[in-house]
Structure 1
Amino acid sequence: MSIVLESTSATIRRNFWNGVWRVMKRKPSRMVGVVIILGFAFMGVFGPMFFPAQLPDNPDAITQPPSWEHWFGTDPQGRDVLALVITGSRYVLLSAAVTALITVVLGTAIGLYSGFKRGRWDTVLMRITDMKLTIPGLPLLLVLATVWKFGNPIQMGLVLGLLGWGGVARAVRAQTLSLRERGFIEAARGLGLSTTHIIGKELLPSMAPYIAMNMLIAVTGAVYAQVGLFFLGVLPYESDNWGVMLNLAVFQAGAMITPTALGYLLAPLLAILLLTLGIVLVVDAMDEIFNPRLREE
């Protein structure tokens, strides 16, 4: 019996991944999005390994325009701008991944349980969510910046994730309230299945496209949030990252008025835009991937 179940499970997984491959091939732009995201993941994990921990200064190449040697020019210390983008990607991407994980896991868990249980649990959890949504993020980060230097991307991701799950919890609860009245949920409850089984095996798979999209969107939101905070100078410059680059490009190198420093400003902006484009292209395929009926059309 167990062998039959394992064989059936393997067949389902194989059919799912075959369907995913067909969906991604249907539009070449989706494959482009996957390649972009994988490229950024590779850059964040392995890119900094190709450079020293502290990029060396070069007084003879201060704020140089783009060239064959330096594709995006150099910064006011003579460091290669492309190397700065690559080495700064790990902080940005790791903190964004931690933020997205905390935001989606916490928001989904609270929203699912609250929407399914209703009653007292729903009231308590939604009041906590409402209180969380009223907490202003920027003033809180200003206070925390006096205690934490945010030199560690895990710290940044933790704070942004704990500040960002409220909206996901509210949205998932609304979806759960709609799904819990469907026939297959009523049948599962009629069979006496446990709450954990219904939520994990029935509700969660039905909401997989929405959760996956929220995961990817949370990554972009986290990138924008941290880059914006560093650009505004709210957080101390304890780590090289794209936000620090933008701040120094505008306020130190004068990239808005100095043509030779323009590459210093454009490089991190292009990295952010390219990452966003990759995520948008992949999100376009999410509903079709998780909906068998759409996959077969």
Structure 2
Amino acid sequence: MTTDLRTEQAPQVRTGPTAPPRVTVRARLGSAFAMFRNRKSITGLVILGFFVLVAALADVLAPYSPTQVDHTARFEPPSAEHWLGTTHLGEDVLSQVIHGTRGVIVVGFLAAIMATIIAIVVGVVAGYLRGWRSESLSALTNVFLVIPGLPLIIIVASMFENPPLVLIAAVLGLTGWAWGARVLRAQTMSLRNRDFVQAARANGEPLWRIIGHEMLPNLMALIAASFVGTVTAAILGLTTLSYIGVIPVNTYNWGTILNWAGAQGAFRQNQWWWFLPPGLCIAAIGVALSLINFGIDEYVNPRLRSAGERARAMRKRGLDVNDPVTAVRTTTSAGDDA
């Protein structure tokens, strides 16, 4: 008698290629702003954030009105009542510096936002397109590269009795976008022949989607560097124009404070509490923007990025980065102990 043994085979399940993990919005934002994770960028962002906070809360932080006059306290050095002294009219210097921060921040960021938007539109489109359209946008960029911004601002400011800060920021933005557009155009020309861009074009993706979803994430570092550089140029341009008297003195910013100090002889009489605080504020915000730019450059440059990562790894292990001698860790085996 034979026994029929039947072995049941498990059904085979066909498994296709595993789907790639879905990239969340948080992960995209984290990768896009990874350039700000190093110490230089964080330090610069903290200093810049402090000035932005002072500008936003100027009415609360200022102990006096910037135009409040105290005739009994003229040319007073720093004291408990006036922390940064007073002017020739008895105005509180600290209050003027705090209120002047708002004008500097507003003009710097408005000009940078306007210039960055124009640079992205002109530079990326000119780099992606070909033929006469790309050459026309490139020629427009070259024209704006040679337009002198300072004389143009002087002409525009002379047409108004009291030019608003928005107008000054608009002129600074319109004259400061060309360098960023040129850099973005060159980088976009190298990206338009990449495989992912060619695949998107072959799938029939529209132009706005190719630029917005395929190219802009790879240009974030250059866009951020261009934005930071434009903020620096706009702030220096505003303070310079205010110091030489192009912008009316009733528009509060650090440059007008230096203009008043110079006109009243504060430099000759060594009244340092009047001109030194706004000068230090200009230097501090310049250092903050430079640190942010250095951090972005370290992220963009592969050599600097690898060197920074290696230095951070050595510091975590307790090793001195500047030590020319490499510490060697020796381990003893069981045979040696015996």
For normalisation by structure 1, the TM-score amounts to 0.86
C-alpha distance after superposition, 1:107-153 (max 9, x if no partner): 11100001110211112212222222232222222221222345422
Q: Structure 1 pair 235/14, CA: closer, same or farther in 2 (3 Å)?
A: closer
Q: CA deviation at 1:14?
A: 7.3
CA displacement, residues 219-269 of structure 1 (integer Å, 9 cap, x when unaligned): 1110100110111112222312111111111122x122212x212111111
Q: What is the aligned-residue RMSD (CA, Å)?
A: 2.9
Distance 1:121 1:270 in 2: 46
Q: Does 2:101 align with 1:89?
A: yes
Aligned partners of 1:11, 1:138: CA distance in 2, in Å? 42
The residue type paired with residue 55 of structure 1 is: T
Following the alignment from structure 1 to structure 2, what is the Cα–Cα distance between the partners of residues 85 and 39? 14
Aligned ranges 1:70-85 → 2 under 5 Å: 70-85=82-97
> Aligned match of 2:215 in 192, 203, 214?
203
Unmatched tracts of structure 2, length 5 or more: 1-18, 310-338
What is the alpha-carbon distance in structure 2 between the residues aligned to residue 166 and residue 42 of structure 1?
30
Structure 1 stretch 175-184 or stretch 98-107: which is displaced more? 175-184
Residue type matched to 2:24 in 1? Answer: S
Distance 2:162 2:239 in 1: 12
Structure 1 gap segments, 5+ residues each: none
Q: Aligned equivalents of 1:277 and 1:82: distance in 2?
A: 21
After TM superposition, give the deviation of residue 53 of structure 1 in Å.
Answer: 5.4
| Residue of structure 2 in register with 1:269 after alignment | 279
SS of the residue corresponding to residue 207 of structure 1 reads: helix
Alpha-carbon deviation of 1:83?
1.1
Matched, 1:39 2:50: yes
The yes-or-no answer on 1:218 pairing with 2:233 is: no
Distance 2:255 2:225 in 1: 25
Contact 1:92 1:153 in 2 (8 A): no
Residue 285 and residue 138 in structure 1: after superposition, are their counterparts in 2 closer, same or farther (change >3 A)? closer
Of residues 12-21 and 104-113 in structure 1, the stretch that sits farther from structure 2 once superposed is 12-21
Q: Distance in 2 between matches of 1:234 and 1:248?
A: 13
Q: What's the secondary structure of 1:157's corresponding residue?
A: helix
Counterpart-to-counterpart distance in 2, 1:11 and 1:40 = 27
User: Is the 8 Å Cα contact of residues 242 and 248 (structure 2) preserved in structure 1?
Assistant: yes
Equivalent position amino acid for 1:256 in 2: F
Counterpart-to-counterpart distance in 2, 1:103 and 1:18: 20
Compared with structure 1, are the counterparts of its residues 14 and 99 closer, same or farther at alpha carbon in structure 2 (3 Å cutoff)?
closer
1:279 corresponds to 2:289:
yes
Return the alpha-carbon distance in structure 2 between the equivalents of residues 69 and 41 of structure 1.
25
Structure 1 residues 92-101 or 194-203, which shifts more?
194-203
Q: How many Å separate the matches in 2 of 1:287 and 1:243? A: 29
Residues 1:60 and 1:237: Cα distance change in structure 2 (over 3 Å): same
Contact 2:73-2:90 at 8 Å conserved across structures? yes
CA distance in 1, matches of 2:224, 2:78: 38
Counterparts of 1:160-199 in structure 2, within 5 Å, are 160-199=172-211
Distance 1:74 1:237, change over 3 A: same
Partners of 1:157 and 1:106 lie apart in 2 by 14
Give the partner amino acid of 1:272: I
Aligned match for 1:139, one of 133, 144, 151:
151
Q: Larger C-alpha radius of gyration, 1 or 2? A: 2
Match of 2:57, SS state, is helix
* Higher RCO by CA contacts (8 Å cutoff, separation 6 or greater): 1
- Is 1:65 the counterpart of 2:77 in the alignment? yes
Separation in 1, partners of 2:32, 2:198:
29
Q: Report if aligned partners of 1:107, 1:168 keep a CA contact under 8 Å in 2.
A: yes
Structure whose residues are more often helix by fraction: 1
Aligned to 1:60, the other structure's residue is in SS state coil
Counterpart contact for 1:48–1:90, Cα < 8 Å: no
Paired residue type of 2:273: G
Map of 1:12 onto structure 2: 27
Q: CA deviation at 1:99?
A: 0.2
Residues in 2 aligned to 1:78 and 1:113: alpha-carbon distance in whole angstroms = 55
How far residue 104 of structure 1 moved from its aligned partner, in angstroms, is: 0.7
Deviation, structure 1 residue 5: 11
Tell whether the 8 Å contact from 2:65 to 2:95 is kept in structure 1 after alignment. no
CA contact (8 A) 2:35 2:221 kept: no
Return closer, same or farther for 1:230/1:13 CA change in 2, 3 Å cut-off: same
Q: Supply the AA of the counterpart residue of 1:157.
A: A
Q: Is the CA contact (8 Å cut-off) linking 1:149 and 1:235 kept in structure 2?
A: no
Query: Which amino acid in the other structure matches residue 270 of structure 1?
Result: L
8 Å CA contact 2:66–2:91 kept in 1: the answer is no
CA deviation vs aligned residue, 1:29-49 (integer Å, no higher than 9, x gap): 543322211111111111134
